Amino acid sequence: MNWIKQFSLENQVAVVTGAAGGLGRELVKILFDAGAYLVLADTDEASLRLLLQATDPSGERVRIQQCDVTNEQDILFLIEQTNNHFKRIDVLVNCAGVLGSDAALFDQTAEDWDRVFDVNLKGSWMAATHISQYMVAQHIKGRIINISSSLGLRAQLKRVPYASSKAAVEHLTRNMAMELVQYQIRVNCLAPGWMNTPMVEGILNGPNGKNWRAAIPMGRAAEPSELAGPLLLLASTASSYMTGTVLRVDGGYAYCGIELPE
């Protein structure tokens, strides 16, 4: 058996929400290099167009679709457009997310809480529910990958709504996995930690960078390429006996304990 071919996504169609964000762009590159056809969804259409030009200028394997995951009609239209063009959906990567305000508990607002949960949790639930219904109707043994974070397990100051929403996404993954296993649709969760983007590099090399790096057992952020193996594992048939799993790719950050004030 050719074990490496298990990780291939040739002739597979993947939908990525939040595709124009920093993490989303990196996941898109990995899926494209693995041979997938892609539909990239985001609220930022201008950034989607730039991503399309950088990934597949011909548009032969990549389509873009403006979509707000908190809007049910947007999700249904995304599915309709994907079906019209590619005739199937094999993989959903639920990457749409917002961080919310950098505020202590007593300074959080109900509006900020609602916005974070609407996008991170409700949006993931709604996209996964409608797309899995489509998979069932088309008899597709699909894969759904929800995106969490180290903060789905770890406590951190000034991140109550975000961390709570990501913990909820992880439990959503487990419950959806139970519901969908009868249809041979697998639901797993990828939980990255710090990723080496310009913003993160500025933090880790900034005035408090030493403290942040000390909180990561591996002492550094991940390179985007280090997400390739975990993502392709969950997106491909290589993980055929995995469902309801949270796969952490964070250099040990989530298991390093509760962050205390200085």
- Residue 11, SS3 per DSSP: coil
Q: Could you report how far apart the first and last alpha carbons of the chain are, in Å?
A: 54
Task: Mark residue 243 as left, alpha or beta (left: phi above 0; alpha: psi -120 to 50; beta: remaining).
Answer: beta
- Residue 122, SS3 per DSSP: helix
Six-digit token pair at 232? Answer: 């392709």
In sequence order, the 6+-apart residues with CB closer than 8 A to the CB of 22 are 195, 197, 199
Cα(189)–Cα(170) distance, integer angstroms: 7
Cα(259)–Cα(101) distance, integer angstroms: 18
Catalytic residue among 162, 241, 253, 255: 162
Pairing of strands 62-66, 91-94: unpaired
- What stretch of H or E contains 218? none
Six-digit token pair at 256? Answer: 């390093």
Cα(211)–Cα(216) distance, integer angstroms: 9
Active site annotation includes 162: yes
Task: Point out the residues that are catalytic.
Answer: 162
